[in-house]
Amino acid sequence: MSPRIYNTYAKFYHLFEGFFRRRLSRAIEALPIRPDDELLDVGVGTGFSLAHYPPHLRVTGIDLSEGMLRQAESKLPQLRPASPRSLTRLLKADAQHLPFPDRSFDLIFLSHLVSTVPDPTKCLSEALRVARDHAHIMLVNHFR
């Protein structure tokens, strides 16, 4: 889908968060998060997942939609209240062309994204490229 559509959705996307809450929290709880890990949240959207990460975790959230990122940025103090601001960064980026060097992250979280990108294979290849050795990749989608 076009980022412009998600810019429009961003204004009322919070209405859908209740549908994803249980699925996201269970997926994040299943991640083997260690104290010094760095996580990449691909398709962070309005930032709903950020509230479920432990405060010590360094999180980079990316999304192609500026509208979604604005929503996430505005809610960041409520989403990660116990986390120092320096541990969370939000960037506009394309999941199919990640702007990070190889082996940059210990954990990669792709939530409700793979069925929306034009080339899911490229998206997953990029996730594998930026994953460190022995990294964990969590894939959550709209469909079971």
> What digits encode the pLDDT tens for the residues 78-108?
889 888 877 999 999 999 999 999 999 999 9
Residue length, the chain? 144
For the chain, what are the domain ranges? Answer: 3-140
CA distance 22 to 1: 25
CA distance 1 to 113: 10
What percent of the chain is modeled with pLDDT above 90?
61
* Token pair for 115: 């069925």
Render pLDDT for 48-74 as a digit per residue (tens, 0 to 9). 899 999 999 999 999 999 998 998 999
CA distance 102 to 113: 21
Render pLDDT for 4-56 as a digit per residue (tens, 0 to 9). 555 455 454 554 565 677 888 899 999 999 989 999 999 998 898 999 999 99
CA distance 95 to 92: 10
CA distance 63 to 7: 11
Q: What topology is assigned to 3-140 in CATH? A: Rossmann fold (3.40.50)
| 142: nearest Cα among 7, 16, 11, 8 | 16
pLDDT greater than 60 at residue 3: no
Label residues 118-143 b or e (16+ Cβ within 10 Å = b): eebeebbebbeebbeeebbbbebeee
CA distance 3 to 109: 20
Q: What is the pTM of this model?
A: 0.86
Pair 47, 61: CB distance under 8 Å: yes
